[in-house]
Structures are given as C-alpha cells and as structure tokens.
A and B are shown apart, each in its own frame.
Chain A
Amino acid sequence: MKDLRPWTHAALYGALWGALEATAGTALHLGRVPFRGEIMGLVGLVCLVCLRRLQPQIGVVLVAGLTAIFLKIFTLGGLYPGPLVGIGIQTLAVEFGFIVARGPWAAAIGGIIAFGTNPVQRVITAWIVSGTEAATAVLRAIGEIGGIDARWVLVAFVSFAASIGAVGGIWAWRLAGRVQRRLRGGP
C-alpha cells in the first residue's frame, strides 16, 4: 500500500467498530437485548464492508480487524477469548469474501461465513469449556426433549444465521455505496 489512506481508513473503521462495541454493545448487553451478538456482528460487518468499498485493497479488512482486536484487548473488554475469536473469524470471512468475489456478492459471502460460523464457534467453545461429557449430554437432551436430532438443530441455527449474514452483507454493501456517494459530495 503506497497510499496512506488505506492505513488510516483501516485504523478509523477499526476504531469505529471498537467505539460502537463500547457504547452500543454495552447498552445492548446491559439491556439484555435478544440477539445482541448478532446485532453487534452486523455492526462489525457494516464497518468492514464499508471500509472495503471505500478502500478496495486486499488486506485492508485484516488491518481493521487486528485494530479492533487490539482495542478490545487493551481498552474495552480484556482478554476474554470469545469476542476476540468472533472478531477474528468475521474479519477473515469478509476478507475471504472480497478475495473470491466482487461487489455485493463478496459482502454476502463474507456475511454468510461470518454469521454462519458463529453458532459453530459457540458450540466448539462450549465443548472445550464444559468437556465432552457435558456437551454430549446437552446434545442428547436437545434430541430427546425436542424429538429431533441435535445436529439438525445446529444446521437450522447455522442456516438462520447465514441467511442473516447474507442479507446483512448485501445491505452493508448498499449502505457503503451511499456513504461513498456522500463522501464524494453526491446526493
């Protein structure tokens, strides 16, 4: 990157993500708002997609993600692994989306991966923390109480989350377009 703008944009959009985590994220957390994780995930997706649309360079999203992780560790929430892993996966997902596709499709792919992997990541984290026996027992309980295979429950969650990610990605791309026009002085 010869130009300085991708670096400063990555810093600022990473900081905006961090600032929104500190303000809106805290408000949602204290208010026990349902789907607060998904809402904050959407906030991150919007920041990253907007950044990538304004500065279409490979790696710029990764720099913003690293910035958000840095701010999360040193100023916001300490070193709790869940949110850090979430930010990391979301960043990699959006970067991957914009490497394999272009335009709104790239944003949609990024959103699908970022949101779709979220339930899987939570299950894996719960599995590690609670141990195999507890995790297996929970899955059996879900299966026997609900009368369905726990794997299908997970698939349903992943599909639902991925759909939100796809819609959120496309919406974020369109919003980024409006931001771009606003910055250029357009209507």
Chain B
Amino acid sequence: MKPVLVVIYVLAVAASFSSRIEVVAAAALVACGATWFADREALRRVLRLSLLLGLVFAAVAAAAAVAWSSGLDRGLSIGASVLLRLVVLVTVASVLARSVDAEKILAAMSRVGMERLGLVFGLALNCLPHLGETVSTVWVAHRVRSGGRWAALKRLPALAEVLLAHTGRVADQAAAAAALRGHVALSRQVATVATKVRTVVVTGASGSGKTPLLESVVGDLQTNGREVAGFLQPAIVEDGVKIGFRIRDIATGVTVDLARRVEERSGEFGTSFEFYDDGFELGSRALDSIPPAAVLVIDELGPVELRGGGHWPAVEKALRTSEIVGLVVVVRRTLVPALVEALDAEDVVVIDLDDLESGRLTAVREALMTHS
C-alpha cells in the first residue's frame, strides 16, 4: 500500500471518532473515495448486503436508544454518526486485509529470527484444506451413523474426540517428517564442512547389520596397521527388542550408554529415546584427538545430528581440524542426501547393505583403498 494511502486511512479512522457528524461524514467519503481509486474489490466486499444490514442494525439500535433518551433529532444524528463510523472502519479493515501479503509476513518473521513461527503458519495453511475436508467428512459420517440430527448432536463429544485425535496424529507425522528431513526452519540449520577425503556412506534398513559391518571394518583396518578413530553405537537388545544404544570409543574401547527407549511420546529430539550426556561426552572425546592419517569411523549420524545437535558439533570440529585420510559414516537411507550435503563431500561412495548380501567388508575396504 502506498504511504499516502496509509496516511489517508489513518486520518479517516481518527476523524471518524469525531463528535461532529459532518467530520465523520467527510471521513467516510474520503475513505470510500480512496478505496474506490485504490482497491475497488475491497469496496465491493464492504457493500455486501449482509454486512450493510449489520451496520444499519447497529446504527438503528444506537439511534433508538439516544432518541428515547435525548429526543429524535439527537437520536438520528448519533445513529448516522455510528453508521458512517462503521463504514470507515469496515472499509479500512477490508483494504488492510487485501493488502497484507502472507508471504511478506513470513519473510519478515524470518528476518527477525522467528522462522519457526513462520513455518508453523505455513504448515497450518497447508493443512487447513485437509482438516476442513476431514471435518466435513467426519460430520457427514457422524450424521449417517447417528440416525438423525438430535442423535448426532448428543454424540458430538465422540465426534470431537475423533477429530482431535486425528489432528494429533497428523501433527506427529508432520514432526516426524520435519525431523527426518532435518528441516531447516523448524530446527537449527546444520553448518556444512568441506570434506575433501573419500567418504564412504554405509546405509541400509534397520537390522541390516550396519554396526557389525563397521566393527569388522575397524578390526580389518587395525589388523592392517591403520590408525582408526571415532565411535560405534551398538544396540542394546533385550528379549529380541532394541531398547537403546551404547557408544564405544574405537581408540580406547570405553563404552557407555547413549540412549534408552522411554515411554511413548516422552522422548527427546522428536524420538522415542532419552539421551544421556555421558554418551555425547564420550563421542566428543572419541573425536577430539584423532591421530594423523587415521580413518574416521562414525556409527551413526541421525536426524538429530543433521539438525546440528547430538554429535554434530564434535563431528564438525573433527572434520575441520584433523588430518584424516578416510571417513566411514553410517546413516539411514532417507538421510543420505542430507548427510552428503551437510558434509559437502566431494568424493563419496554410498554402500547400501540391502543391495549386498555378501562381500560387504570387501566393498568398504575397496571403497577406502581406492583413495588411500
């Protein structure tokens, strides 16, 4: 909106609160005239019959009360003032609603560091049609199943429960999707490091043997006289169920608990696990003093790291300061692109264990040897 229009509308609103009807009338004339030239659609929205009837009703009520109290002339004057004032206010509101751009609001939020709120608004806008459709569908199904309007009304709490639970599920799915993608606006953006060395990314489905493979790789490299640093994260399994993770410093062999599964929905970082500071500290120590010409093994980096949390600060520092000759990283398949982007890796080999029934150790060894 042009600055001169802003000034005109501000003056019109201020003048509309005058006690003199001719001033209020002039304000209404100016506001409507300016809108006629600047945004006729906004004026058309004001001229809807239902809205105009509402304004007239409010003005008549005020006029009747004042007429009863102070006489007909005064009542008519006040009624006209109220009507004209409402016309000014509604016209200005209509123009404002049409001129404020949602994209600009989101961009402004981003500039002032409120990216998360901007993303929340974006998510809400995206989900609004789906939720609106769900409300309609659920209501129709509810009416049909209830066998009548009154029966349907009596069972409204059940309908509300279904809708609220559905909304909660969609919110959970949205959080999971954002976590998996390491969403930059809902989370801290992970800084990229320029990784020059050959990077072997080991991926595969849960339970495909990623950690056992890395244990074999470490043993193989050490047997061949190579320096190896980093950490492994073997699962803690009880009665065949994965209940957590330990973390082991490859250089020292020290092992501590990193995470344990907790009650549903009470985990940290959008996961079902509670994490322990001791685990992160061990991971940090494992990456702190890497000998020159070592191969760095990291098992594994997850959504938490790709959002800049967890082990990421230590990983980033290690990649910036140490003189490694190779890097082996475990990551789930959906995160491979995000990891490669975060590492800014120039020389990458991705080994998907689901494509390799045998010869896995050889594949990793050859991928590393190609370079070093």
Known interface pairs A79-B93, A80-B93. Does A16 touch B167 (Cβ–Cβ under 8 Å)?
A: yes
Known interface pairs A4-B186, A15-B124, A67-B120. Does A79 touch B96 (Cβ–Cβ under 8 Å)?
A: yes
B127 nearest CB across to chain A (Å): 5
Q: Does B348 sit at the interface, judged by CB under 8 A?
A: no
Number of interface residues of B (CB under 8 A): 68
Chain A contacts for B124, CB-based, 8 A:
11-12, 14-15, 18, 67, 70-71
What range describes how many residues of A lie at the interface? 35 or more
- In the complex the two chains form, is A4's CB within 8 Å of B128's CB? no
Residue of A nearest to B132 (CB): A19
- In the complex the two chains form, is A8's CB within 8 Å of B123's CB? yes
Contact of B164 among A50, A80, A133 (CB under 8 A): A50
Chain B contacts for A4, CB-based, 8 A:
175, 178-179, 183, 186-187, 270
Cβ < 8 Å to B, chain A residues 1-20: 2-5, 7-16, 18-20
Chain A contacts for B168, CB-based, 8 A:
9, 12, 50, 54, 179, 183
Interface string of A157-187 (1 = CB under 8 A from B): 0000000000000000001101100111000
* A-contacting 9-mer, from B29-37, B57-65, B191-199, B361-369: B57-65
22 A-B contacts, Cβ less than 8 Å apart? Answer: A4-B186, A8-B120, A8-B171, A8-B178, A16-B135, A16-B163, A18-B131, A19-B134, A47-B164, A67-B120, A67-B124, A78-B93, A78-B94, A80-B93, A131-B85, A134-B65, A138-B61, A140-B65, A175-B160, A178-B161, A179-B165, A184-B265
> B residues engaging A (CB < 8 A)?
17, 19, 45, 58, 61-63, 65-66, 68-70, 74, 78, 81-82, 85-86, 89-90, 93-94, 96-97, 100, 102, 105, 116-117, 119-121, 123-125, 127-128, 131-132, 134-136, 139, 157, 160-161, 163-165, 167-172, 174-175, 178-179, 183, 186-187, 264-265, 268-270, 309
